[in-house]
Copies of this chain bind each other. A is one copy, B any other.
Amino acid sequence: MALIPEPMFALPSLLTDKSKATANIRKMAAKMPSLSMFRPHFKTHQSEETGQWFKEAGIEKITVSSPQMAAAFIHQGWHDITIAFPLSIHWVPFINAYAAKVSLNIIVEDVDVLKSIISGIKVSCGVFIKIDVGTNRTGICVKNKSYLDTLVQLLEKAPRLQFKGFLAHAGHTYHAKNPQSIEQIYFASFEALCLLKTKYMAAFSDIIISYGDTPSCSIIPKLTHFDEYRPGNFVYYDLMQYHLGSCHFEDIAVCVQSPVVAKHLSRNEIVLHGGAIHLSKEYIKIDVQKIYGELVSLNPDNTWVRFPERAYITSLSQEHAVSKVPTVILNQIKPGDILGIIPVHSCLTVHQMLNLY
């Protein structure tokens, strides 16, 4: 709805820590032998300013997850973009409009969709075939050789589509139990995509294998295996990544500023203005408890520090967050105070906070 746009009267708002985010960018970039291998996913931040931090670090190629996001970053001066979401046949007019202006890559996984694209495309465009490395969401399983052959043969005969290679997202690393499982997923994915590259590179010498997900790109010390890496979340990280072992708590570069609106001593609870519409209902489980965020103390310069003891958001409704707070912290807090909430999943929280009103 057309709400009053400007943040007013200490409403929940998004804080980012530039020094942490730029350190995260530099650290990830330094893991790759060449910056040209780095195509960060911009869906996490969706921000012109944060995009600029990537530009200043020398990054020129980006990943997005929707045509609108591609359009927005094209308007902000980015000119080499992969839309890492299965191309819908309804987007062909978009591709015709934008691929003429910038270098655009799309991903396909369905023979009939690819045929529709081939018949509708009027401009030159890069195409990756999406491979499912075990996430069971989108993509073709490497074992499905004849289907992959059919896709490649269609691409070979499509003069406007350049076959760029194979692209995978190992989303199942987000559910891994420990860093060792993440490593296993990374190397199994590498093996699978390597076999594909080897098979098809005789006919297509320039094809690459492109891979991305923050847990593996954070945990693997040197990113020297795939030809391209597309992590996104790492720029801000979040509570989920911290608990997966992808980052230190101090690397988390995003936080929701949230006013305390009530205090209930009998239950050791405070209620904050910061609900599902701000944080999203993404949760992690710590022991058996659902956790929607962790409270931090805010500094006057909009940085934050962790409390000596943990204080988690334990339930969320549309506008409310309820936090069970250790007594030592509870005694320092009163309604009207403004605290920070470290989100469970920064991509969702940032999207919601940027598009709140």
Q: Are B68 and A357 in contact (CB under 8 A)?
A: yes
Q: Are A277 and B352 in contact (CB under 8 A)?
A: yes
State how many copies of this chain the complex holds: 2
List chain A positions with a Cβ less than 8 A from chain B: 1-4, 8-11, 43, 46-48, 65-69, 71-72, 75, 85-91, 93-94, 109-110, 112-113, 116, 136-138, 141, 171, 259, 261-263, 266-267, 269, 271, 273, 276-277, 280-282, 315, 317-320, 322, 334-336, 347-348, 351-352, 354-357
Q: How far, in angstroms, from A103 to B94 measured CA to CA in the complex?
A: 48
Q: Are A89 and B336 in contact (CB under 8 A)?
A: yes
Instruction: List 23 A-B residue pairs with CB atoms under 8 Å apart, sorted by A's residue number.
Output: A1-B46, A2-B75, A3-B46, A3-B68, A8-B67, A8-B94, A9-B67, A9-B90, A9-B93, A11-B68, A85-B273, A85-B320, A86-B261, A90-B259, A110-B262, A110-B263, A112-B335, A113-B335, A276-B280, A276-B348, A277-B351, A318-B351, A355-B357
Find chain B residues with CB under 8 A from A85 CB: 261, 273, 319-320
Find chain B residues with CB under 8 A from A336 CB: 88-90, 112-113, 116
**Interface SS of A by simple majority:** mixed
Q: Are B138 and A262 in contact (CB under 8 A)?
A: yes
Find chain B residues with CB under 8 A from A67 CB: 8-9, 11
Q: How far, in angstroms, from A126 to B101 measured CA to CA in the complex?
A: 58
Q: Are B138 and A65 in contact (CB under 8 A)?
A: no
Closest to A75 in B: B2
Given A110-B335, A136-B267, A336-B116, A88 contacting B3 (CB threshold 8 A): no
Q: How far, in angstroms, from A167 to B137 measured CA to CA in the complex?
A: 46
Q: How far, in angstroms, from A259 to B354 measured CA to CA in the complex?
A: 24
Which of B10, B71, B141, B320 interacts with A138 by CB under 8 Å? B320
6 more A-B contacts (CB under 8 A) besides A1-B354, A113-B261? Answer: A3-B68, A3-B71, A9-B93, A43-B319, A85-B273, A277-B352
Q: How far, in angstroms, from A74 to B242 measured CA to CA in the complex?
A: 43
Q: How far, in angstroms, from A89 to B9 measured CA to CA in the complex?
A: 9
Q: How far, in angstroms, from A47 to B46 measured CA to CA in the complex?
A: 26
Q: How far, in angstroms, from A171 to B320 measured CA to CA in the complex?
A: 12
